[in-house]
Amino acid sequence: MTTTVSTPPAAAAVQQQVADLAATRIASWQEGYLKDRSPAVAALARLRRGAGREAGETPDLWSLVDTDPLHTPVEGMRPLSEQELERAENALHAALTLWAFHQQSRGVPMHRRHTRERPGGLGAAVRRLMPADGTDAPVRKRLVRAGTAPDLATLTQRLRDIVALLRAAKDPVPLDYALLAGQLYVWQWADGPAAVRRRWGRSFHEQVRTLPGTAPASNEKNTPDTDKDAS
């Protein structure tokens, strides 16, 4: 889909709505999946089949990728336009399905919120795949290719390739999927790709500032990977 409309004035507010909704949806599924609850395991299996596909292409996901809150006006904001709703739904679908693909068969959370001390953006995640004393040109090239995607469908496919590397790493690398969801919303506007590329570039150069010896967060204990839904 060709983007021809500049980012609307309310884009930041909608971006935050999309990010918050993604965080809410993923938090529930992720907790249930890590506790091996059948409904969450089944939901993740369904979601991951939509990774890399356009929203609406997989009818089985319509009831899972629930966008009803986006249709409910927020106090102080006008109702979203059809174009804003479509792009918000596209972003949410892409983020949720990519997370499900990332979380598959992993016994620790693959969605982790970004903090200054522990950057969770896409660029920072890609950087963590590289040697501490240098860069890995092929891995960095994947991030650059994602940044130059001509449309959301292509971008989602390229992100899926990056996520495959994150989950296959010896120590799987998590990502802030709420942050990504908001960025995918911004991406779909005419001046959005450039803004998102800049953010990914800054994220790539962020340094992890966790002090040596700092204990991991309580929900990120070293838990062995599982083989549930490993198909």
Domain assignment of residue 228, yes or no: no
Domain assignment of residue 218, yes or no: no
Q: Are 224 and 113 in contact (CB under 8 A)?
A: no
Domain assignment of residue 116, yes or no: yes
Torsion of CA 105, 107, 110, 112, to 10 degrees: 160
Domain assignment of residue 39, yes or no: yes
Identify which has the larger pLDDT, 77 or 193: 193
Domain assignment of residue 117, yes or no: yes
Q: Are 106 and 172 in contact (CB under 8 A)?
A: yes
CA distance 103 to 163: 10
CA distance 188 to 152: 7
Distances (CA, A) of 18 to 148, 158, 179, 203, 231: 23, 21, 9, 20, 29
Q: Is the pTM of this model over 0.95?
A: no
Stretch 40-54: mean pLDDT: 88
CATH number at residue 190: 1.10.520.40
Q: How many domains is the chain built from?
A: 1
Distances (CA, A) of 173 to 66, 80, 120, 129, 181: 27, 34, 9, 8, 18
Nearest residue to 147 (alpha-carbon basis) of 203, 103, 92, 96: 203
Distances (CA, A) of 83 to 88, 91, 128, 188: 9, 12, 36, 10
At 111 the pLDDT is 97
pLDDT exceeds 70 at position 66: yes
Domain assignment of residue 224, yes or no: no
The domain of 22 spans 11-209
Domain assignment of residue 172, yes or no: yes
Domain assignment of residue 227, yes or no: no
DSSP assigned state of 110: S
Which tens digits make up the pLDDT trace of 12-43? 889 999 999 999 999 999 999 999 999 999 99
Copy the structure tokens of residue 87: 């792009």
Q: In the predicted model, what is the mean pLDDT of the chain?
A: 83
